[in-house]
Structure 1
Amino acid sequence: MPIVQFAPFSSLVQPSFWHKLTDLKVDVLKLSDDHIPVSASYSVGRTVKDRETGQEVALGCNLTVGSESFEDDHKPPSGLVLATGTFKNFNTIEEFKAADKTALFNQEAQHIWDHILTTRDSSLLNRFLLITYADLKNYKYYYWFAFPAFVSKPAWEIAEEGWKSATEEFKPEQLAEIHGHIRAQTTPSPFFLVREEAGTTSIAPVESYESFFTSSSTSHTVAFIDPSANPQNPGWPLRNLFAYLRALYPTKTASIRVLCWRDSELPSSEWKSRFGVVQIAGDPIEGRPTAVGWEKNPQGKLGPRIADLAPMMDPTRLAAQAVDLNLKLMRWRILPSLDLEKISATKCLILGAGTLGCYVARALMGWGVRTITFVDSSRVSFSNPVRQPLFEFEDCLDGGKPKAECAAARMKKIYPGIDATGHTLSIPMPGHPIPPTAASLAEAKAAVRKLEQLFDEHDAVFLLMDSRESRWLPTVLGAAKGKIVLNAALGFDTFLVIRHGARASSTPKDAQPARLGCYYCNDIVAPADSLTDRTLDQMCTVTRPGLAPIAAATAVELLASVLQHPQGIHAPAPPPNQDLPNSQSYAEHGGSVLGLVPHQLRGFLAQFRNLLLTGAAYDKCTGCSETVIQAYEKEGFEMLLKAFNDQKYLETLTGLDKLFEEGEAALESVDWEEEGEGEDDF
C-alpha cells in the first residue's frame, strides 16, 4: 500500500509582525534573547482556479503570524485554528547563524512529547518554533520556522482505494452536521472525533477517545482541520495526531479512519473534505520518536529566510520607526529608567528663530520632542544660513522668508512626523513705548494675547531673543503660568544658560527649597531699550561660531534633566561643590537620572570651562517677583502697557527706586578723602 505523504506547513508572515517585533525589541526585549510565547493561526486548505486550464490549484498549508501573535490572550478570527509556539530573537547575526538549532528543535519536540504523555492534551500538537534576527537599521529580518512532527517507523500506509471524497463515506447530511458542530466553536479544535450512533452524527475532543468510541457506535473516525488542499496529501498536523494516538492507544490504532476536514462553508455543489483509511504495521516504539520539521527556504534548501521591508515601506513610516532608535538604545544598557515618553510629550515654545533657536530645535527633535513652535519677528537674511542650520540660500531671496514659518517648514522636511509651526510676532518690550494710536494699541494687545495663548498651549519655553528687554514679557508670563522657562544668552566667547525658578508648589513650605532666580534677579535697574543708538557690532550678537551650538545643546540637555527629575520644574539646584561621578550616583540622592540639574551654567570658551552657579530669587526682581506677577494677574494688559511706556514704572512697582535712593544717600553720607589731602604730612 502507498505510504502516506504529508503536505508541510509554510510560514506566512504578515508585515505587521515585523513592525511589532521592531517595537518589542526596542521597548521590551532590548538585549534579552529569552524564549517568549507566540501564536499563529491556519485555516482549512484552499484552492484557486487556473484561468487557462480551469483546474483547481492547491495553495500551500499556510501558518500565519501577525502583530497579534505576541498578545498573551490572542484569539484568531472565527473559523481559524490557533497554534502556539516559541519565539527567540538573537541580538546579532553571528549569534543567529551560530545558534545550536538542533538543540532548540529537540527541546520543542521533547516539550510536545512530554505534554502528550503527562496531560493527554492535544493542544500542543501544532506547536512551532520561530528564531529570528532583526536588523533594525536596515529593516531586514532573518527568520526560520520549525514545525516539529514525529516520524513514524514503520511509516503509515493508505488503503488501496487511497484518499477519496468524504461523500463516498459520509452522507451529505452527516457532513452538514459535522460542519454545524465546527462552526458552533469560536475557535475550532484542530482535532476531533466523529461517530455515528443511532442515526446521529456527533463529535468530541480527541482526548475523549476511549469514552467516546463505544461498542455500540457503527463507525470510529478521527478528524482534523486540514490546512492542505492537495487531494492526495493531508496536512502536516496529522503527523502528530498519529503520534498522539499511537502513544496513548497503541492497541486500538493500528488502523484508523481519517477525515480530513476542508470545508469552511457549506458547499453549493461538491464537498472538499477527504476521507481515507490508514494502517501501520508493527508495535509502537518506546520513547520519543525522532522529529522533523525545519522549513525549507524558497530555494528548496534547509535554511533561513529574509524579509526585507525597506523597499516596500513608506519612507515616512521608516523615519517614524528609526528616528528615536538612538533614544531607545539608551535604555538598553545605560538608563533603563529613562522616561522618554515624558520628554516626547513636552510641547516646546522657542522664542527667537535665530542661531540659538535653530540649534535648540534640532537638539529637541533629537531628544524626541514632537511639538515645537517658533516665534520670531524677522526674515531670513543672507548672513543667516551659514550660522543658522534651518535656513538655506533660497530662503534669503526676495526679501527673505519669515524666519518662524521657514524654520517650522524646514523641520517638517527633516522629519515629516514633527508637529512644527511658526508665528511671525513682535513681542512688546519695556523701553519701547507703544504709540498712543488705536491701531498701535490694538496691535500690541493682539501680540500679548497671542503670546499668552502660546504659553498656555506649551509646557516649556526657550528665551533665545537678541535683546535683553525682549525677554521680560515672556519671563513674566512663564512665572505667572508655571511654565518651564530656559534662557540662553551669548557673549563673544562666553554663554549663559539659566532655568527660571518656579513659584512655590503646594507642598509644605519647610519642605521646599529656596526659589531660584530668573534672568533679571541680579539686576538693580529695569530692562530698557538696548537697540536704539547702537553701532552694528552692538546690535548684532558677535560671538565665536562654535558657541551657539554649545549653549543651545546645554539648554536642551538642561530641559531633559529637569523633566527627568522627580520634582520637575521645582527641582532644587545641586549643593555647592557637588562631585558625583555619574548620573546614576546623583539619581540615588534624589536627582535626575541624567545627572545634575543646575540653576545656571556659565561657559567660558577661551578656557573650555563651565561654571555651575546658583542664584536665589530676588524679592524686588522686575521679572519674576511676586509684586510683578500679582500686578500682571490683577491688571493684565494695562499693567504691561505701563511697563512698556514708562521706564520707571517697574522700578517704582518693585521698590528698586527706593533701594537706589537709599544707596545714593548712603554714598553721600560717607566722608570721602579728597585727592591730594594730607600731602604735607609726608
Structure 2
Amino acid sequence: MATASNEVHHPVDPGISKLQFAPFSSALDAGFWHELTQKKLNEYRLDETPKVIKGYYYNGDPLGLPARLTLEFSAFDMNASIPARCCPAFGTLYNTNTFETFKSCDKKSLLEKEANEIWESIKSGAALENPMLLNRFLLLTFAIQALQKAYDELCQKEGVTALPYFLIKYHDNSVVISLLKKWDGFFQDQGGKVTVGVYDPCNLSHYPGWPLRNFLILAAHKWGSILQSVEVICFRDRTMQGVRDITHSIIFEIKLPERVLGPGCPKAVGWEKNPKGGMGPRMVNLSECMDPKRLAESSVDLNLKLMCWRLVPTLDLEKIVSAKCLLLGAGTLGCSVARTLMGWGVRKITFVDNAKISYSNPVRQPLYEFEDCLSGGKPKALAAADRLQKIFPGVSSEGYNMSIPMPGHPVNFSEVTMAQARKDVAKLEALIDAHDVVFLLMDTRESRWLPAVIAASKRKLVINAALGFDTFVVMRHGLKKPKQQESGDSCLNNASGSSDLLGSSLFSNIPGYKLGCYFCNDVVAPGDSTRDRTLDQQCTVSRPGLAMIAGALAVELMVSVLQHPEGGYAVASSSDDRMNEPPTSLGLVPHQIRGFLSRFDNVLPVSLAFDKCTACSMKVLDQYEREGFNFLAKVFNSSHSFLEDLTGLTLLHQETQAAEIWDMSDDETV
C-alpha cells in the first residue's frame, strides 16, 4: 500500500535480511503536459475537481533504468490501448489553478485517501477481481500553463519576443502578469505577497541563472525597507521533442536583507576564469574563424548541436559523425544517401562505381551537372567524391572506379580477366574492412551478393536500399555475432533453433544477430539478371521522388541503429511497435522499411535469417573464410546451382516438388 514501509522485518530471526522495494520513478511524457494544457484551456478551465487518469509501467527496460510509472498523452482516455508488455495503473489528478492552492494542499491527506482506496479494495475483495486496483497513484500539479498564456499575452501586447522580468499575482483563480514598472499598487490585494518572474536561461534544476542576481539588488534597494521576502519564479521556456514545455521552471522564496543598501555601488563580480583558473584575460584566436572552411565546419556542427540542445538532449552525435561510410553505387540512390549523410555531419564517405555519367543522370542524381556528361562522361565515383568536397570541404571523400564481381558473370575467360577480378575482390575486402557502415545501392540483385558476404564475414553494419517503380525496400542486414560468441547459431532457419521466436506470428523481439539479409527471403541463388535484356530494360525505372525517399530513410535507419545502445544487435522494431515507447531518442529501430508510394504507405516487416541463405548462411561464410577467392571464383564461373547445392536449396526444391506431386496424387484419388 501507499502508506506501507518499504522494509519488512522478520519477528523471530534477526539474521534474516530485510525485504526492500524499489519505488517507482514518475515519467511524465511531454505529450502528457501538452494534453493537460489543452484540457485545462478548453475543458477544465477553473474546475479543480479530481480527475481519473491512466498510466502504465513496463517490464523490459535496459539494466540500470529505474522502474518507471509512465503518463503520456493518452492518460486522459480510459479506453486508450496500453503499449505491449505494459501493465495499466489508474490514479487521480489534482490540478490546482494557483500556486497558493498547490502549496496549501494537505498532501498527507491526499496520500492517505489513495491508500484508503487501496485498502477498501483489499477488504471488499475487489482487488482479487481487478488486481490493477493495488497500483493506484495520485498526481498533484499546478496549472503553470495559465502563467505561460498570460506571459505570452503580455509579450504580444508589448511587441517583444520575451520579457526579462515581470510581476505576477493570483486573482480570482487566474494569473495576472504586469511590467516591472507597474510595481506601485500591483500587489495591494495580495496581503503583502510579492511574486516576481525572471526569464531564466539556466538549466540547473536547483539553482537560478545570473539574471536574478542584479534584480535582487534592485529589489533590495527599492523595496528592501518594506519587503521581507520575495517569491521568485524562474521562468524556463523550453522546447522538448517539438513541444513547448515550461515545466522546468523553478519556484522559491528569497529573504531580503533587513538593512537598506547604502548609496555606494555594491561590489561587482563576474569576471570569467581563464584556462589556468585565474581571473586574467582570456585569449581568443580568431584566425580559424576567418577561414571559410572553418566557418563551414562550425556551421554544420551548429546545426547538429541545436538538435541536441533543443530537441534530443540524449543524441550521441559522435557516433554518427565518426561513422566511416562506404557507398557501393553512386547513382540515384548513392547521391541521395551521400547528401543525407553530410546533413548528419558524417565526415568519411567513399564511393564505389564503375559507370560514367550519362546525359540522363544529372536531373535525377544531384551530385552531377551537365558538364560532367561531356566527352563520354566522367566516372561517377570520382565525380561524386569531388563534388562532396566542393559542397563541404570538411568531408573526406574518395571515389573508386571499379567493378564488383558477381555470380552469373564468369571471370574465367582469360588470365587477365581472372587477375582483375582477384584485384577487385581484394580492393573491395580492404574497403569494407576500413569502413563501419556499408550501403548497398546498386542496380542489380547479383551485384549485392559479394559485398553482403564480405560484410557479414567482417561483422560490418550493412544498410540495403532497392527500388521498384513505386515501391522500395530499405533494410539493415542481421549483424553476425563475433566469432568467439557464435556457438553455431548465427544463422537460424524456420524449423530449428528459432522455435522460441515463432510463438508470435509477427516475429516480435528478434535481436539483430538473428535478422535476415537481403538474400534471406529468396529461394534461388543470384544470377545474371540483365541477360537477354535491352539497354533500356537494364535501367531502373522509378518514380523520380522514390530514390530520395529511400536514400533518406536508409541514412536515418543507420543513425537510429547507431543511437541504440546495442547498435547493430538491436532488437528489430515492427509496425506493431509504432504505439509503444521507442527504444531510442530518435524512435524505432526497424529491420526493414517497405514503402508503397502509390499508397503513400510504409510497413516495417521483420524476418529471420535463413540457414540456407546464399549470402549470409554459415555454409557460405565458412567456405568464403576458408577458401577466399578460390571459392568466389567458383561462384562467379558456375551457374546458380552451385550456391543452391552448397546451401541446401536444391534439396529443398526437390522436397517441395515431391510434396506437390504427392498432394496432386492425393487429389486424383479423391
- Shorter-chain-normalised TM-score: which range? 0.5 to 0.7
Tell me how far apart the structure 1 counterparts of residues 289 and 425 of structure 2 sit (CA, whole Å). Answer: 49
The corresponding residue for 2:355 is 378
Tell me how far apart the structure 1 counterparts of residues 636 and 558 of structure 2 sit (CA, whole Å). Answer: 30
Tell me how far apart the structure 2 counterparts of residues 673 and 462 of structure 1 sit (CA, whole Å). Answer: 49
Q: Deviations over 1:488-508 (max 9, x none)?
A: 100010001111001135399
Which of 618, 631, 642 is equivalent to 1:639?
A: 631
Q: Deviations over 1:168-226 (max 9, x none)?
A: xxxxxxxxxxxxxxxxxxxxxxxxxxxxxxxxxxxxxxxxxxxxxxxxxxxxxxxxxxx
> How far is the alpha carbon of 1:672 from its aligned partner?
5.2
Letter in structure 2 aligned against 1:601: I
The corresponding residue for 1:560 is 559
Unmatched segments (≥5 aa) in structure 2 = 1-159, 167-197, 200-209, 221-259, 271-283, 490-499, 501-508
Retained in 2: the 8 A contact 1:109–1:291? no
Tell me how far apart the structure 2 counterparts of residues 668 and 411 of structure 1 sit (CA, whole Å). Answer: 58
Tell me how far apart the structure 1 counterparts of residues 624 and 288 of structure 2 sit (CA, whole Å). Answer: 57
Letter in structure 2 aligned against 1:460: V
Retained in 2: the 8 A contact 1:461–1:484? yes
The corresponding residue for 1:270 is none
The corresponding residue for 1:649 is 642
- Normalised by the size of structure 1, how large is the TM-score? 0.54
Letter in structure 2 aligned against 1:654: T
Q: Which residues in structure 2 correspond to 1:175-214 (within 5 Å)?
A: none
Letter in structure 2 aligned against 1:334: L
The corresponding residue for 1:468 is 445
> How far is the alpha carbon of 1:528 from its aligned partner?
0.3
Greater gyration radius: 1
Q: Determine whether 1:289 maps to 2:288.
A: no
SS at match of 2:559: helix
Q: Determine whether 1:368 maps to 2:367.
A: no
Retained in 2: the 8 A contact 1:411–1:418? yes
Tell me how far apart the structure 1 counterparts of residues 549 and 211 of structure 2 sit (CA, whole Å). Answer: 54
Letter in structure 2 aligned against 1:538: Q
Retained in 1: the 8 A contact 2:289–2:295? no
Per chain length, whose mean CA-contact separation is higher, i.e. which structure has more relative contact order (CA < 8 Å, sep 6+)?
Answer: 1
The corresponding residue for 1:520 is 519
Q: Residues 618 and 312 from structure 1, CA distance in 2 versus in 1: closer, same or farther, beyond 3 angstroms?
A: closer
- Identical aligned pairs, as a percentage? 55
The corresponding residue for 2:305 is 328
Retained in 1: the 8 A contact 2:574–2:604? no
Q: Determine whether 1:412 maps to 2:389.
A: yes
Q: Deviations over 1:271-323 (max 9, x none)?
A: xxxxxxxxxxxxxx99572369999xxxxxxxxxxx9x899722111111101
The corresponding residue for 1:669 is 662
The corresponding residue for 1:622 is 614
Retained in 1: the 8 A contact 2:288–2:294? no
Tell me how far apart the structure 1 counterparts of residues 336 and 548 of structure 2 sit (CA, whole Å). Answer: 6
Unmatched segments (≥5 aa) in structure 1 = 1-91, 112-284, 296-306
Tell me how far apart the structure 2 counterparts of residues 286 and 554 of structure 1 sit (CA, whole Å). Answer: 63
Q: Residues 311 and 326 from structure 1, CA distance in 2 versus in 1: closer, same or farther, beyond 3 angstroms?
A: closer
Q: Deviations over 1:371-423 (max 9, x none)?
A: 00000001111000000000000100111111001000000100000000000
Which of 611, 620, 626 is equivalent to 2:603?
A: 611
User: Cα RMSD (Å) of the superposition?
Assistant: 3.6
Q: Residues 576 and 320 from structure 1, CA distance in 2 versus in 1: closer, same or farther, beyond 3 angstroms?
A: closer
Letter in structure 1 aligned against 2:314: S
Q: Deviations over 1:589-632 (max 9, x none)?
A: xx222111111111000000001100100000001001101110
Q: Residues 673 and 422 from structure 1, CA distance in 2 versus in 1: closer, same or farther, beyond 3 angstroms?
A: same
SS at match of 1:324: helix
The corresponding residue for 2:123 is none
Q: Which residues in structure 2 correspond to 1:490-505 (within 5 Å)?
A: 490-505=467-482
The corresponding residue for 1:440 is 417
Q: Which residues in structure 2 correspond to 1:245-264 (within 5 Å)?
A: none
> How far is the alpha carbon of 1:96 from its aligned partner?
8.2
Retained in 2: the 8 A contact 1:356–1:548? yes
Q: Residues 576 and 545 from structure 1, CA distance in 2 versus in 1: closer, same or farther, beyond 3 angstroms?
A: closer
Retained in 2: the 8 A contact 1:504–1:515? no
Q: Residues 287 and 482 from structure 1, CA distance in 2 versus in 1: closer, same or farther, beyond 3 angstroms?
A: same
Q: Which residues in structure 2 correspond to 1:541-556 (within 5 Å)?
A: 541-556=540-555
The corresponding residue for 1:403 is 380
Q: Residues 102 and 611 from structure 1, CA distance in 2 versus in 1: closer, same or farther, beyond 3 angstroms?
A: closer
Letter in structure 2 aligned against 1:391: Y
> How far is the alpha carbon of 1:669 from its aligned partner?
3.0
